[in-house]
Amino acid sequence: MSASLKKYRTALSILVVLAVAVGAFAYLRLRPIDVVVARREQSVPIAVFGLGTVEARTISNLGFEVAGTLVVLHGDAGDTVSKGDVLAELQSREQMARVASAKAAAAQARANATQAGATVDRANVALRQKLAISERREELARRGAVSSEISEEARAAFEIAQADLALAESAVDVARENVQQAEALVQVEEARLAKYTLNAPYSGVIVARQRDLGSMLNPGETLYTIADPASIWALAYVDEAKSGQIQVGQTATVTLRSNPSRHISARVARIDIESDRVNEERRVYVKCDVCPGDFHLGEQAEVRITVATLEDALLVPMAAVREYAGNRGKVWIVADGRIGEAALTFGQKTLDGRLEVVDGLPGGATVVVEAAGALAVGRSVRIAGTASP
C-alpha cells in the first residue's frame, strides 16, 4: 500500500469521526427536550409569616396592699378561680380589734345622739309650759290682777326656755355629726380589714404562686399571677417590609411548637402602633376563633396571616427567575414550541416562594419552571406537564 493511499484513508477516517461527532452534537443540542411549565391557579392565598409567642391580654400580678403574715392560702399554679374567690389572707387580729373599737365608738355616738334628741323633747315641753305661763301673766297684768314685773319675769323665763331648746337642737346636730364621723371611721377600719384578704378580681387561671404559708409579705409584693383564658392570643413579630397589607380582622393560622400538626384558626385583633426599632418588626396580635382549653404563656407560635387572595393568577417559583431584583426578573418561556426569554414584572409572593406574574409575558407563551436539559433561545422543546402548586 502506497503512502498516499494510507494518508487518504487516515483523512477519511478523521472526517467520518468528525461527521459523527457533529451529528451527535446536533442531535443532542437540537433535539426537543421535555420541560415543565407554570400553570394558572385559582383562589391562591397570599400570607405573611410571623414568629412569636402565646400571651394573655388580661394578666395580673396580685398582692396585698398591707404588710402581714400569710395565714390562709388557697390555690396553686394551674388552678381555676372565679371572680371574688378568696385566694389568701393575712393575720388580722390587730385590725379586727380596731374595727371592734370603731364600732363601739359609733354605738356610743348613736347613744349620745338619742340622748340629745330626748333633751330636745324635754326642752320643747318646758318651752310650751313657759309660754303658757307667760301668756297667762300677761293677761292678768292687762287686767291689773298682777304687777307688770311678774309678767316680765314670766316672759323672761319663756325666752330662756327658747334658748335652751335652741341649745338642745344644736347638741342634736353635733351628735348626728359625731355619729356620721364614727360610722365613717368604722368604714375606714373595715376597708383596711378587707385589705387583709386577697380576692380574685376576675375569673381566670392561676399562672404562678410566689410564696407559702407563714411568709411575711410587704405591701405590693406579688403573691399570685392570674390570667383570663378568654384573653389568650398570639403575639407575632412580622418584618416591616412584609407587614404593609396587614389589617385588623384578617384571617390567620396559629401553629404551636408543642403541636405542629394542629393549625388553629384566628383573626388579627390588634396591630401595635409602635414597631420594634432594633429588629425592624411590627407587633401583631391574633385572637383564635376557638382557643384550646390548655395554654402555656410564652410558648413559641408560628402565625400566618392571609392578607390577600388571588382569584386567578400565574405563579412562577423564584428558582425559575434569573436576575431577580425588586419586582422584575428574567425567565425562560415557551412560544410556538421553542425556547424564548422574557423580562417579567411580578406582584404578590406566596410563602412557598412563588411569584405572581403581572406583566411582560407574550400572548400564548408559558413560563418554564423545570427542564430536562440545557436551555437556549430557539431550542425546540416538548411540554411534559405543568407545575404543581
Q: Domains (ranges, CATH) in the chain?
A: 29-44+311-386 (2.40.420.20), 48-57+228-308 (2.40.30.170), 59-91+201-226 (2.40.50.100), 93-194 (1.10.287.620)
The model carries a pTM of: 0.70
Q: What is the pLDDT of residues 259-268, one digit of tens each?
A: 999 999 999 9
How many Cβ atoms sit within 10 Å of the Cβ of residue 120?
Answer: 18
Whose grid coordinates read 334628741? Answer: 117
Q: What is the pLDDT of residues 284-303, one digit of tens each?
A: 999 998 887 788 899 999 99
Using the Cα atoms of residue 79, residue 82, residue 83 and residue 84 in order, give the sign of their dihedral: negative
Please give the torsion angle defined by the CA atoms of residues 302, 306, 311 and 315, in that order, rounded to the nearest 10 degrees.
Answer: -40
Query: Looking only at Cα atoms, what is the longest distance across the chain?
Result: 196
Does residue 9 register a pLDDT over 70?
Answer: no
Higher pLDDT, 138 or 364: 364
Q: What is the pLDDT of residues 197-237, one digit of tens each?
A: 999 999 999 999 999 999 999 999 999 999 999 999 999 99
Rounded Cα distance, 251 and 244, in Å: 15
Q: pLDDT confidence of 28, banded at 50, 70, 90?
A: very low
Using the Cα atoms of residue 11, residue 12, residue 17 and residue 20 in order, give the sign of their dihedral: positive
Rounded Cα distance, 196 and 206, in Å: 20
Strand partners, 370: 36
For 107, residues 6+ apart whose C-beta sits below 8 A from its C-beta are none
Does residue 117 register a pLDDT over 80?
Answer: no
Using the Cα atoms of residue 245, residue 248, residue 253 and residue 258 in order, give the sign of their dihedral: positive
Burial 307-329 (b: 16+ CB within 10 A, else e): beebeebbbbbeebbeeeeeeeb
What 8-state DSSP symbol labels residue 361? P
Does residue 342 register a pLDDT over 50?
Answer: yes
Calculate ∠ Cα 197-198-200, nearest 5°.
140
Residue 251 phi/psi, 5° resolution?
-75, 155
Best CA proximity match to 308, nearest among 43, 51, 52: 43
Q: What is the pLDDT of residues 44-81, one digit of tens each?
A: 999 999 999 999 999 999 999 999 999 999 989 989 99
Average pLDDT of the residues of the chain: 86
pLDDT computed for residue 120 by the predictor? 73
Residue 209 phi/psi, 5° resolution?
-125, 130
